Chain A
């Protein structure tokens, strides 16, 4: 008796169909079977081979038809299941890269050394600790991790010779591999460690565009230099970069911290032989040192790092776009910055405050809000509750631009467009119509305005550095090469100027810190990377592109998500005493 199974609009390679036919013929109780695309020519072949059925004749040229000759009707169901599994199985012969528990993840990963964690904060610390117990370094993208948990994680990592990058680490390059929100940077002899995500992106992309390279850019998380944490990751990372013979210059980026912590970090830096560039963004450095250059802005840190890496004389002249002009009316005196990058917003606030002397009011919705100027970080937690980060979703910035149209004080608008993995694939095209509309609305109201934009990226980023610049320029924005240049151009347009700080050269005694580094840390920054990705699957995109081994850990909360019970399980899992 002949039975027919039809799989409409299904294609398989001819080899798969041939193997499928062979397999069906081996099933006990099947006299003969044939699987083919149901084109008229093939139907004739089937008919000629004794497989003529009504259903076979009814199948279309884009269907797979399987005709089975069997005396046992129950075989049809068995064959149907086999066909489904063979057709699905033939589609994927790749290595297994997904796990749903630690045991499996560790079993299928190839000598893993980093756990990339992007779980909700309340679970991230727990899994971070699990990763450390399994001798993995941790890159923690998650935020909302308590300071106590962060300290515990970092102390445990330090004791084990491992590194915890984060929490809230948005950016990292480990031995040339970008992690999370990161640009594709040429490898080179500059090592970067930073407590700020977009700060690292701005500095490393400027270095790349000027012809230099960075092999490791280690993000520590924004709180690492707080007194409660004590710069544990920062100091371990500096020592690791110091131990790497391929690093000629170490660049350190952070917001200002307490004197105690800053002295602690500086003490480590003063015991190094390698040249160092340090930027405590927000401070106006009053001095610099023979071996440690104290930078004022991100661009200066990048340019000086590159000069030092080439053994050149240190020289930085800030620039601005001089050919930009506009006729503002007497009301138009304000700068508005709608940023997606927090550190870039901080830099803008600092330069505007230093140039104008206008103090910022205390308003948590703004990075800086003075009498005339406003700088907003739309990536701040208060703007991202329930909505994606502005590097992914343009909605908040489009809204800000729309609202700005009715703000008569505006003379200049500042926008950043941060490229790289994780970011929107074409943010410029999203912003462009809003920029055009903003300029046109202002023009209709009889006002000239200037929209300045800067693109943080390299020509290797998937979005295309040049094309992003062109799209923004096409919409009427003036494109600045760096954030530093953009803010200085804005200040120039309203008749202000940010002066470079004069820095005397101070001499400090060389310190004698213990610079020994665990082999595991040396391996991390110069060995092969192998990642267990726990959380957002999108982060594996960079790993696939860079051909890095990874396992996707599809995490689900244990104990039905009951946090208290999870903590008990976590405690028992790592309990080393007697019960």
Chain B
């Protein structure tokens, strides 16, 4: 019995494998293949911003596979970047898989050097191998493997690559390569290493990082006050002894080492990306051709969402909704239950049918388009085009990319602002993301609503939101105290031809998440509204808000329901609004004002939480409050302008 328990115990030992690599090197792709799970993949940096893990059994062994956000090296400058490194130092995974984009091998070698110094068992996984002809660049994975003394796997996207990776998982070892950085640096490293208490882990890495000026490493390794001071003093005296700048020397030596590794792997030349792809990339960010391309993308999206999804919806409601509603209306005699099921706030009409028949086709069309843009790598090129405009409103650095990502998911985009060093820029970015940028789901439904009343409304909507964002940014830029602004350095991913299978899969998962997360909200919301209506609470709220809603905004009182729903989920609110517009409850101007206010009003709950995490609860809530008040003021102004314009 005891023996049995023991073997069980041994069999249950779980090895933790972290997948790390530079931004946009296919970590999530590898994670998905190893775990059978699905993490969103896209052709640009910052797709994964939080650690995700799953336990799986591979060849009878138990592993925890961990997907991580992009990492350039183990050197950190700010508290924000600490997160990933502390994860590696504190959690100390049993093995690391470094993903490397085979088109840009040299770029990843700095991280490889750091990981070798870390001493954790390592394997290298070469991605995008499908796009690269290895013979062309003279690169031989076997040679690299021999040189570094660790497995190097070429990861093809057909399952065979995953199989090769699975085969090396159970015998990962640290690299056998001993790195030298020249006499001067090596002597400092050795002395520093000896100066650390012997129970401190990763001493050699710590010495290297200290030379580079990383002030967080002592704390990160858990050195307490006295030891930290001693190490720091030792370092200072060593530093003074040199007449050169060790930071620069170290960088130079690393560059040499990278060269040595490339030579060791037999790499001789580089491969240029495909000609068509390059041409498209250049056109997409060109000052003249870039804007027509952006315009064309918007037009196609509009047509797909309005016409394409509209046709599908027509078919669905003709074949499913109308007959079902008719059946139920005639079959259920009780008025209460009939209303509960298919009334104006019915659980089926407002809840399920609205979600599936009206909203789902719209989202499908939109997500296909979004997937295309993501997988080609088009989006980061927008930052090249918009940078100058955004510079005027105080967004000069990394925030530009965060703002672009806001059109995907505002919560995710808010979380990416943690990399922004300038406090001012961070605050402006967070505010603008939360304010008038519609998230992908909301944008999709907004387009569908406006499509029903005409292209002009869609253009007014785009113009209004852009104006509001620029004005808000301009004001914030003026009133917030200046600090050291950031410079703009943005890596642009290579443009790739999208793969139908990958986009279908991604769209499928997005819709699945929508069904899992948002549909219950639709249904619950319809129940809550039904209850509120029956108990009279809804009417009381409406009466209370009536001066603002009907007087200032010029909207019917029913819009209060939409605003309430906005608190839960924006696409649910937009879905309800779509339902109302379809039912002819709103005029042209009213539809426009309603769409604009629901886009600006109250960022969704997840977004508020993300804001509070980035800039503190008080500021997060203050921003929420300011946004709510301004959305009412601005939507009202829009109402009066539209009326004055005679629309």
A, B: real partners: no
Q: Which residues of A contact B (CB under 8 A)?
A: none
Q: Which residues of B contact A (CB under 8 A)?
A: none
